[in-house]
Amino acid sequence: MFTLVYVRQNLNQAAVGDLFGVSQPTVSRVYRGILPLIGEALCLHVPDLEEAIRGRLVLVDGTDVPTGNRAGHEDNYSGKRRRAGLNIQVAADTEGGLLGISTPLCGSMHDRKAFTESGWEDLLVETSFIGDPAYQGTRAITPRKKPKGGELSAADKKNNKTISSLRSAVERCIAHLKNWKILATGYRGRLAELSNIIRIVTALEFYRLGW
């Protein structure tokens, strides 16, 4: 139980130990032993992205998993977000349901490049998907930019409003995902383990959603 509390609330291990009446070393030992087992137990609840997106209009957005500044990992610093972290791409349906999370990439990477580097650009080649202006240059349906020295037409403004309304679903999806505070409030563990933790939290979220 305290393994799930640790991941859900991102408390430090000493605080978790105090809650459950055990020592910090016990929390650390059990956490490292149990978390991979949770991932293995839930792996069947994680759909293949190609299967999950089939026949759907897909919403794509990027977010970061903050890590704090780490020596030797300067490429994780995002000037846009003004903090260090890892970039993950998130796919959702139009109801805000999670469809997939990409392999994490360095936080300095722009969403457009992360989308390509993650392999999602190739995977979604036959799928209609919506993204924000960061995804211009892909096959994504994106808002129209105001022309230099001009104004958007009434039709373009209406189109942008529709896209914005649809995109709010992926923003809700990310907000729900980040209720797993270990992805939201600053990961303190070993960076080498974060990719696996993201994979396990993804499995937990799919399980919560009933996949």
pLDDT digits (tens, 9 = 90+) for 1-22: 778 888 899 888 899 889 889 9
Our count of domains for the chain comes to: 2
Answer whether 0.85 is exceeded by the pTM: yes
**Which span out of 47-51, 59-63, 141-145 was modeled with the highest average pLDDT?**
59-63
Q: Tell me: the pLDDT tens digits for 154-165?
A: 999 999 999 999
pLDDT of 126 higher than 80: yes
What is the extent of the structural domain holding 37?
1-45+188-211
Q: What is the distance between the alpha carbons of residues 82 and 149, in angstroms, rounded to a whole number?
A: 30
126 and 72 housed in the same domain: yes
pLDDT of 72 higher than 90: no
24 and 54 housed in the same domain: no
Q: Is residue 204 within 8 Å of 37, Cβ to Cβ?
A: no
112 and 172 housed in the same domain: yes
Averaged pLDDT for residues 47-75: 91
92 and 62 housed in the same domain: yes
Does residue 115 lie within any of the structural domains? yes
Averaged pLDDT for residues 136-162: 91
38 and 71 housed in the same domain: no
